[in-house]
């Protein structure tokens, strides 16, 4: 994509930072072109772009070490970046840091079926790993909607989830060990593939840290056995409240499906027009539920889910009759965000979690918020664990619309917190939700989070300006120390 830019540069030929990076990596993997730097100053969110410094593409742990040591020498910050599919601004560079693109580190290093573990590099695409494992009888369980493009390293950074994480757990539950390069250039192994790794669970600390503790260069992932049988149901409802109640009642009945996803009418119509998956376009909401395991057990669970749905006024219950039909239903769900391009050119996707018992209440408030700000909203969410994903649709060319979008987004976050929810289920905090952190955590909590970060990165050079709010971040401390403007812009 950037071939036509490779021979062009906007940096002084004597710039010592670029010279050091080019010597460590080779000139063709240190980019300075303004177009590429501008592109990598954004992610998939609607957050205003930052400003990237030099862009580096390492191919080994040793090269990441070299980048970190050069950054320390020049007192520059470093921001790791995968596919750029993040939705909270976590990989947006703040203040012209060195951007470390990990998309060339794509090797699946080892697959150990006997011990159900594989070692991979951070640039491996989520779905590519599952495709490699499937013929062996295994898969990688976390399946974010962006799995066709998102990387395992990015999944680790954000502790990503996905529809099938209801039963199997989010990314943290599927990572056994991490090789990471700290801001100092030191290499550390966090966790291990032993049944009981020694020491503190620093692996668990690192997963979900959004690049603020260092850069992962090798990842030991758990292989999940493919289930012997799967049943996928599509239930339709005349009222979204009935769909939400069905979800709560299924879990209360002691059934833990592999997935339970709800889509409201607007997004269902968009998906059906886009994919033709067989969704009813006259339903106020649909519930996609899946159970897996031994055939006899899942048949009983599927029938019980259908009964619970009918007790909650389901207007239709459909069971996929073939693998093709099942995959088509899931294709509709996984392409939901792309389907809205038929309606509006832009969208803002949120990610809060509320108690299942409050799903219907918060959904009502989300619709009211959108109406107050004259915005169209569609709801598609991981209903089983209360992870909401309201999409606010808009056209960025409309004057003033972004102000309304951001105001509505803030109100959605507040409504979720007021209902006893939390800020994020899988997208992370990044820049988007920083200012809400003190609504969820006390000053003491935030202080200890900052101390933990400084334990990994005393100079706060790893992805500064993210997660922790102003007043509680080591980034504030470094500004007071008057770190050179190269870090802070």
Express each pLDDT in 129-142 by its tens digit.
Answer: 999 999 999 999 99
Same domain membership, residue 213 and residue 115: yes
* 447-460 mean pLDDT: 95
* 283-288 mean pLDDT: 98
Identify the DSSP state of 173: G
The pLDDT of residue 479 is above 60 = no
Query: Residue 282: which CATH number?
Result: 3.30.70.2190
Distance CA 280, CA 282 (A): 6
Among 225, 241, 256, identify where a domain stops.
225
pLDDT score for 228: 96
Distance CA 395, CA 377 (A): 13
Residue 282 lies in a domain: yes
Among 277, 304, 337, identify where a domain stops.
337
- 392's enclosing H/E stretch is strand 390-394
pLDDT score for 468: 95
Q: How confident is the model at residue 15 (pLDDT cuts 50, 70, 90)?
A: confident
The pLDDT of residue 49 is above 90 = no
Same domain membership, residue 349 and residue 293: no
Report whether 475 contacts 458 (CB < 8 A). Answer: no
Q: Please identify which residue in the block is written with the tokens 């079926």.
A: 113
Return the closest-CA partner of residue 101 out of 15, 17, 29.
Answer: 29
pLDDT score for 177: 97
pLDDT score for 467: 96
The pLDDT of residue 322 is above 70 = yes
Longest dimension (CA), the chain: 73
Share of the chain above pLDDT 70, in %: 94
pLDDT score for 386: 94
Its pTM surpasses 0.85: yes
Query: Residue 385: which CATH number?
Result: 3.30.70.2740
pLDDT score for 67: 98
Report whether 425 contacts 353 (CB < 8 A). Answer: yes
* 35-50 mean pLDDT: 89
Express each pLDDT in 84-115 by its tens digit.
Answer: 999 999 999 998 999 999 999 999 999 999 99
Residue 423 lies in a domain: no
Residue 429 lies in a domain: no
Express each pLDDT in 329-385 by its tens digit.
Answer: 999 999 998 898 899 999 999 999 999 999 999 999 999 999 999 999 999 999 999
Q: How confident is the model at residue 475 (pLDDT cuts 50, 70, 90)?
A: low
Same domain membership, residue 190 and residue 156: yes
Same domain membership, residue 138 and residue 90: no
More confident residue, 456 or 2: 456
More confident residue, 98 or 47: 98
Express each pLDDT in 383-439 by its tens digit.
Answer: 999 999 999 999 999 999 999 999 999 999 999 999 999 999 999 999 999 999 999
Q: How many domains would you assign to the chain?
A: 5
Same domain membership, residue 261 and residue 332: yes
Identify the DSSP state of 54: -
Return the closest-CA partner of residue 216 out of 138, 156, 142, 286.
Answer: 156
pLDDT score for 476: 59
The pLDDT of residue 263 is above 60 = yes
* 433-450 mean pLDDT: 96
Residue 313 lies in a domain: yes
Residue 457 lies in a domain: yes
pLDDT score for 2: 32
Same domain membership, residue 350 and residue 242: no
Same domain membership, residue 173 and residue 207: yes
Q: Please identify which residue in the block is written with the tokens 């500004």.
A: 479
Q: Show the domain range for 438.
A: 434-488
Report whether 343 contacts 226 (CB < 8 A). Answer: no
Q: What are the contacts of 330-334 at 24+ separation with CB within 8 A?
A: 330/163, 330/232, 330/288, 331/275, 331/277, 332/271, 332/272, 332/274, 332/275, 332/277, 332/278, 332/279, 333/145, 333/163, 333/261, 333/263, 333/271, 333/288, 333/380, 334/145, 334/147, 334/148, 334/163
Same domain membership, residue 288 and residue 357: no
Same domain membership, residue 270 and residue 308: yes
pLDDT score for 487: 35
Strand partners, 346: 394
Express each pLDDT in 163-202 by its tens digit.
Answer: 999 999 999 999 999 999 999 999 999 999 988 888 899 9
The pLDDT of residue 32 is above 80 = yes
pLDDT score for 14: 66
Query: Residue 92: which CATH number?
Result: 3.30.43.10
Same domain membership, residue 147 and residue 113: yes
Residue 76 lies in a domain: yes
Same domain membership, residue 20 and residue 79: yes
Among 394, 418, 442, identify where a domain stops.
418
Burial of 150-185, coded b for 16+ CB within 10 Å and e otherwise, reads bbbbbbbbbbbbbbbbbbbbbbbebbbbbbbbbbbb
pLDDT score for 402: 94
pLDDT score for 11: 53
Same domain membership, residue 215 and residue 116: yes
Residue 120 lies in a domain: yes
pLDDT score for 125: 98
Residue 427 lies in a domain: no
């Amino acid at each position: 994509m950037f071939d036509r830019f490779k021979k062009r540069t906007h940096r002084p030929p004597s710039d010592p930072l670029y010279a050091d990076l080019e010597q460590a990596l080779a000139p063709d993997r240190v980019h300075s072109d303004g177009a590429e730097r501008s592109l990598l100053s954004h992610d998939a969110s609607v957050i205003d772009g930052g400003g990237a410094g030099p862009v580096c593409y390492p191919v080994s742990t040793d090269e990441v070490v070299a980048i970190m040591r050069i950054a320390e020498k020049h007192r520059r910050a470093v921001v790791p970046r995968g596919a750029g599919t993040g939705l909270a601004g976590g990989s947006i560079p703040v203040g012209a840091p060195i951007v470390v693109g990990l998309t060339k580190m794509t090797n699946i290093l080892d697959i150990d079926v006997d011990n159900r573990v594989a070692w991979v590099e951070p640039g491996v695409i989520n779905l590519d790993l599952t495709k490699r494992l499937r013929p062996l009888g295994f898969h990688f369980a976390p399946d974010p909607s962006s799995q066709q493009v998102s990387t395992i390293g990015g999944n680790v950074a954000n502790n990503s989830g996905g529809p099938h994480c209801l039963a199997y757990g989010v990314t943290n539950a599927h990572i056994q060990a991490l090789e990471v390069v700290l801001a100092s250039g030191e290499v550390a192994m966090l966790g291990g593939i032993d049944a009981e790794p020694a020491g503190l669970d620093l692996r668990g600390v690192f997963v979900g840290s959004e690049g603020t503790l260092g850069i992962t260069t090798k990842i030991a992932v758990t292989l999940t056995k493919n289930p012997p049988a799967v049943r996928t149901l599509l239930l339709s409802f005349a009222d979204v409240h009935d769909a939400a109640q069905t979800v709560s009642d299924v879990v209360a009945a002691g059934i833990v499906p592999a997935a339970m996803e709800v889509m409201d009418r607007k997004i269902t119509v968009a998906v059906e027009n886009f994919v033709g998956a067989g969704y009813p376009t006259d339903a106020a909401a649909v519930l996609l539920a899946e159970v897996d395991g031994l055939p006899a057990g899942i048949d009983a669970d599927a029938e019980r889910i259908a009964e619970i749905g009918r007790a909650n006024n389901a207007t239709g219950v459909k069971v996929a009759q073939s693998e093709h039909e099942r995959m088509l239903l899931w294709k509709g769900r996984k392409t939901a965000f792309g389907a809205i391009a038929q309606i509006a050119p832009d969208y803002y996707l949120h990610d809060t979690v509320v108690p299942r018992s409050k799903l219907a209440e918060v959904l009502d408030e989300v619709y009211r918020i959108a109406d107050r700000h004259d915005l169209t909203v569609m709801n598609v969410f991981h209903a089983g664990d209360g992870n909401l994903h309201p999409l606010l649709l808009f056209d960025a060319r409309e004057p003033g619309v972004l102000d309304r979008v951001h105001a509505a987004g803030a109100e959605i976050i507040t409504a979720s917190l007021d209902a006893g929810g939390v800020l994020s289920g899988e997208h992370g905090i990044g820049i988007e939700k920083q200012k809400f952190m003190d609504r969820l955590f006390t000053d003491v909590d935030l202080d200890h989070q900052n101390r933990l970060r400084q334990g990994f990165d005393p100079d706060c050079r790893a992805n500064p300006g993210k997660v922790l709010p102003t007043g509680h971040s080591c980034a504030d401390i470094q500004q007071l120390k008057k770190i050179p403007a190269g870090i802070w812009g």
